[in-house]
Structure 1
């Protein structure tokens, strides 16, 4: 499966009792589709998957597939630090009709590089759904090496990587290594760092899985589409237009600022589940200024 364009790492909205706001989630889905994005990710890490129980996790994926109804690609967050649990969530997502699954590297365990290949290979072998590996070492303690990405690309069913190491050099190395193996057209690299989307795509990436697109999906989609159409003049303009708001959205741990921004914009988001909590006042003021400067509030 080819992954290209703008995918939104959706938040999970909660009501005042911190239960899933199902109607709010459906509303956000329709809002983002209207913004022109290409795909939506439900129950990923931006969706506070770490504090969803299994029933809630599955429910978010069910709602996503049901409400999208084929209008854009649906990607289910199904990663876990237990391979057996990742298999179970990925099988469920395939059964309910998700188009793909996004699997973060097992966190805390710090599996060896050959263990990562076994992990993703096991999920791919047992689940009939395209898989995106998610590399975010700042959150998991594990970094997928360039050579490991190439081996993952050789596994039937592992079709892309969301790369959030923060290194454009690494993306360059991945793309070159894939090219040497003739895999660059069959395996996609998606930016996992919103502010680096332009440079990552310039060296071989095909799109982004974006948290900031929850509030600014239209401009992110316009920028990504401009790059895909080789209109770098317009892409540069949009990159610099969005830079300050993107930085403000990561001033504290994701998804705290983006949910805060959504609440300020009147979009369904609600509170956080512990251990996350409200922003510090000085950071909230920075976020508010960035939102005002971007004409979002």
Structure 2
């Protein structure tokens, strides 16, 4: 098994999947344009990476063909400039493995591993501490299918007070010891869980990238020095400020980092992350308000944004000095919202 070291410590964008207006069909040209935005020299130089077909990209609701096509588009646009990991998700393990193989054949650099979907036994009622095989068996099956491709883990599970939305530290450590493909751990945790798990990962005998996820905690995460990169959907709507903030921390310029954080970036993230049941809806709505995609709609059963969310997101984005689309364009979409 290859030891990848820190090769895949990157600022990964969990990129949304744009849809054509008045349909729920993926819009290839919009996806290409958005990918090109993150391939600008300043982002490439800073160490950007792309996760195609993440949860923020509606991987649960894309067909196998759509997932593969998204990977093909990303490979074609990226051309090896930055690492590309592809989400693997489907109702059954056999289908998940095939999606991972599709991604490998299409040219992805690695696989983004998401826990199983489906029955309460393996989702909302799953006790990850007592029944770790639900997670480990999936990783082993994907490993068998794709060989030594690197994995980044999206370790969500039912919420706990200790960890928030993340697997317990014992299973995190066991995963990294048993599955040598794992090169990065998406830190889906609350602040306490992040601290516990990141310190445990730092004690392993090989490097595992600690990749920040909830951008509401990035200021504190960066201060802890347990921050090797990101896997975050927040890059979709606030890339300029997020990059400036991270670069300031890298340079040790705490005054500038605080100034950026306190001048609107914190307020954006505080609203977006205030309700996890609306997280991905707000990601995509904010991305639309920024003008990166033409509409905010996600494939049902994902609901449409509410009018109050559109208004609040416009407010916090504007307060932070970020450009938003015209009021006329906003009104055109708001007319389609019932709530």
Same fold (TM over 0.5): yes
1:132 maps to 152
1:180-259 correspondence to structure 2 within 5 Å? 180-183=203-206, 186-201=207-222, 202-241=224-263, 242-250=265-273, 253-259=278-284
Q: What SS does the aligned partner of 1:255 have?
A: helix
Question: Is the CA contact 1:161–1:188 (under 8 Å) kept in the aligned structure 2?
Answer: yes
Unaligned runs of 5+ in 2: 325-339
**How far apart are residue 80 of structure 1 and its match?**
4.3
Distance, in Å, in 2 between the alignment partners of 1:85 and 1:207 is: 30
Distance, in Å, in 2 between the alignment partners of 1:12 and 1:172 is: 31
CA shift digits 1:183-237 (9 cap, x unpaired): 3xx1111112111123234252211112121122122223233334444443333
Task: State whether structure 2 residue 64 is matched by structure 1 residue 51.
Answer: no
Larger mean CA deviation between 40-49 and 116-125 belongs to 116-125
1:159 maps to 183
Q: What SS does the aligned partner of 2:317 have?
A: helix
Task: State whether structure 2 residue 30 is matched by structure 1 residue 24.
Answer: yes
2:17 maps to 12
Distance, in Å, in 1 between the alignment partners of 2:51 and 2:229 is: 14
Greater RCO (CA < 8 Å, at least 6 residues apart)? 1
Q: 1:115 aligns with which of 134, 137, 157?
A: 134
The count of residues paired between Structure 1 and Structure 2 equals 294
Larger mean CA deviation between 124-133 and 134-143 belongs to 134-143
2:193 maps to 170
**How far apart are residue 116 of structure 1 and its match?**
1.9
Q: 2:87 aligns with which of 77, 86, 90?
A: 77
Q: What SS does the aligned partner of 1:136 have?
A: coil
Larger Rg computed on CA atoms: 2
Q: 1:279 aligns with which of 299, 305, 309?
A: 305
Distance, in Å, in 1 between the alignment partners of 2:159 and 2:26 is: 24
**How far apart are residue 28 of structure 1 and its match?**
0.3
Question: Is the CA contact 2:112–2:151 (under 8 Å) kept in the aligned structure 1?
Answer: yes
Q: What SS does the aligned partner of 1:156 have?
A: coil
**How far apart are residue 238 of structure 1 and its match?**
2.9
Q: What SS does the aligned partner of 2:19 have?
A: coil
1:264 maps to 289
Task: State whether structure 2 residue 168 is matched by structure 1 residue 145.
Answer: yes
Unaligned runs of 5+ in 1: none
Larger mean CA deviation between 256-265 and 191-200 belongs to 256-265
Question: Is the CA contact 1:46–1:255 (under 8 Å) kept in the aligned structure 2?
Answer: yes
Distance, in Å, in 1 between the alignment partners of 2:194 and 2:109 is: 25
Question: Is the CA contact 1:5–1:221 (under 8 Å) kept in the aligned structure 2?
Answer: no
1:30-45 correspondence to structure 2 within 5 Å? 30-34=36-40, 36=43, 38-45=48-55
Distance, in Å, in 2 between the alignment partners of 1:216 and 1:190 is: 18
**How far apart are residue 44 of structure 1 and its match?**
0.8
Larger mean CA deviation between 151-160 and 195-204 belongs to 195-204
Question: Is the CA contact 2:60–2:90 (under 8 Å) kept in the aligned structure 1?
Answer: no
CA-based RMSD: 2.4
Question: Is the CA contact 2:13–2:235 (under 8 Å) kept in the aligned structure 1?
Answer: yes
**How far apart are residue 265 of structure 1 and its match?**
2.6
Distance, in Å, in 2 between the alignment partners of 1:144 and 1:260 is: 28
Q: What SS does the aligned partner of 2:142 have?
A: helix
Q: What SS does the aligned partner of 2:292 have?
A: coil
Structure 1 pair 233/31, CA: closer, same or farther in 2 (3 Å)?
same
Question: Is the CA contact 1:75–1:101 (under 8 Å) kept in the aligned structure 2?
Answer: yes
Larger mean CA deviation between 120-129 and 66-75 belongs to 120-129
